[in-house]
Structure 1
Amino acid sequence: MKQKIYQIDAFTDQLFGGNPAAVCILDTWLENELMQKIAEENNLAETAFAVQKGETYELRWFTPEIEVDLCGHATLATAFVLFNYYGVAENTIQFYSPRSGELTVKKGANGWMTLDFPTDPIVAIRNITELDNAIGLTPTQTLKGKTDYVMVYNSQQEVEAISPNFHLLNQLDCRGVIATAPGDEVDFVSRFFAPKCGIPEDPVTGSAHTSLSPYWSKVLKKNKMTAKQLSKRRGDLVCEYLGDRVKISGKAVPYLIGEIDI
C-alpha cells in the first residue's frame, strides 16, 4: 500500500522554522499500532492522521511514543495540506477529534490560519519541589491544567536560560511542562518540555496556548495577544481568549511531499 505523506513547518512563515509535523490523509483508518509505528519512524513531535467523514475530517495525533489528546501545530499542518493539496474550497475546515471534540481551522488573509480549540482551564497550585528541581529554576507561580504544568517567570531572559533535567522531568506525572513569562517584543513567551511523550523540547506547541491564553488574558487584561515560543526553531502565534474557546493563529510552509510504502 502506498500512502502520501506531507511534512509541514507550522507556526512559521520560514522553512526550517516553527514546528514540523507529518500529515497523512487516509481513505480509512489504519490499525493503531501501524499509525504509532509510522509516527515513530517519522520521529517528529507529531504525525497527524485524518479521514474524511462527510463534511468533517476525523483527526488523530501521534508522537513517536504515544497518541495525544490535542495537537495544535499538527492540526494547522493538516489544514494546510487540505487547503493546498486536496482541493478544499471552503474557508473553514471542520475537524472532529475522538479525544477533544469539535475543532475548526479557518483560512484567513496572507497565509494566516486560525485554530478554534477548547480552553484548558488552569488552576494555581503550590510550587512542587520535584518540578522546580527538574526545571532548575523556581517560578513565581505554578499552575496545573488538564495535562500540563505551567510555570510562570518574571522575564523572557529567565525562560530562555532554562536548561532542564530531562531525567527528572520524565518522572513527573504530566504530559509536559510549560515555562512562560512576559515577552520583550510580544505579549508573552513560552517553552514546552515533554520528555514523557518522546519530545524533550517541542519547537512550537499550539495546545499549550489553550492553557497560556486564559492565564495571560487575565494578567494582561486583554483578550487578543501575540506570543512567541522560544525554542531553537522559534514560532509565532496570535491568541484570542474567548472564555471556553481559544483562537490560535499562525502560518505554515511545506517542506516535503513523499510516499510511504506500508
Structure 2
Amino acid sequence: MKLTLYQIDAFTNHLFGGNPAAVIPLEEWISDSLMQRLAMENNLSETVFFVPSKKPDADFEIRWFTPVSEINLCGHATLASAFVLYHVMGYGFPAIRFQSKSGILVVTKNFDRISMDFPAWKPEPLADVPAELATALGNLTITSVYKYRDYLVEVADENMVQLCQPDFTLLKKLGHKVILTAKGSKADFVSRFFAPTVGVDEDPVTGSAHSQLIPYWSEKLGKKSMYAKQLSKRGGDLWVEYLGDRVTIAGQCVFFMKGEIDL
C-alpha cells in the first residue's frame, strides 16, 4: 500500500514558521493502530488523516493523531488539510465540511487565508488550582486559572509568556494540557501551549487552544474580532472572531514537502 504525505507549515506566511502538520489523504479509513504508528513515525505534533464522507452533511471525515494518542480537535492540521485540498488536490467548492469528533467543522478560503468555524469552549474559573502549577511553569506569578478542555493560565504581561521555561516533567504529572496567555502589545493577546500529556512538550501554534482563548479574551477585551500571536520559537499568526457558540480562526499556510509512504 502506498500513501501520499504532505507536510504543510500552518498559521504562517513563511517557510519554517508556524506549525508543521503531516497530512495524509485516504480513500478509505485504515486501522487506528496504523494511523497511530504513522503519527509516531512522523513525530510532528499532529498527523491528520481525512477520507471522503458518505454522509450528505459532510464532504470529508477527519481525524488527528499526536505521536502518542488521538485527539478530539486540532486547528493547524485542519488548516493544513484544507490547504492541501484547495491548493494541491484541486477542490473547487468554496467551503469544506469536515466531520470530526468535535462535530462538523466548516472551512472556507478567502484570498490567502483559510478560515475555520470551530466550537467555542468558554472556560470557567478553576476552583482548585494545583499547587504545583506555578512551579511547573517556571515559578511564574499567575493572575488567574480557568479551564474547559485545558488549563488556561493568565499572567501579567507578554514577556512572562515569551520567557516562560516550563518543567515538562512536572506538567506531565499534572495530567492536563496548559495554555499560557497574556494581553499582547502588538497583538490583542498572545499565548503558548504545552501538552506533554499527549507527547507534545510545546505545540508551535494551536488552533484548538483558541477555542478557549477567543471567548476568554473577547469578554476581557470587549472585542469580537481579534488578532492573536502564539509565541513559540516558530511563532504563529491567527485572525479570530467570537460568534457566541462558535469561533472563527483564520490563518495562512506554506507548502513544504510531498512524499510517499510505502507500507
| Residue correspondence of structure 1 range 1-262 to structure 2 within 5 A | 1-54=1-54, 56-97=59-100, 99-109=101-111, 111-126=112-127, 127-136=129-138, 137-146=140-149, 148-174=150-176, 176-262=177-263
**Structure 2 SS opposite 1:33:** helix
Moved over 4 A (4+): none
Query: How many Å separate the matches in 2 of 1:153 and 1:134?
Result: 14
Amino acid at match of 1:108: N
**Structure 2 SS opposite 1:103:** strand
**Structure 2 SS opposite 1:170:** helix
Query: How many Å separate the matches in 1 of 2:126 and 2:41?
Result: 38
Deviates more, 1:52-61 or 1:184-193: 52-61
Query: How many Å separate the matches in 2 of 1:23 and 1:8?
Result: 8
Query: How many Å separate the matches in 2 of 1:246 and 1:135?
Result: 28
TM-score normalised by structure 2 residue count? 0.96
Q: How far is the alpha carbon of 1:100 from its aligned partner?
A: 0.5
Q: How far is the alpha carbon of 1:173 from its aligned partner?
A: 2.4
Amino acid at match of 2:59: T
Query: How many Å separate the matches in 1 of 2:200 and 2:155?
Result: 22
Query: How many Å separate the matches in 2 of 1:119 and 1:244?
Result: 5
Amino acid at match of 2:17: G
TM-score normalised by structure 1 residue count? 0.97
Q: How far is the alpha carbon of 1:118 from its aligned partner?
A: 0.5
Give deviations 1:112-155, integer Å, cap 9, x for gaps: 00010001121012432121111121310000112x10000111
Amino acid at match of 1:131: L
Amino acid at match of 1:171: K
Provide structure 1 residue ranges, at least 5 long, that are not aligned to the other structure.
Answer: none
Provide structure 2 residue ranges, at least 5 long, that are not aligned to the other structure.
Answer: none
Deviates more, 1:2-11 or 1:129-138: 129-138
Identity %: 52
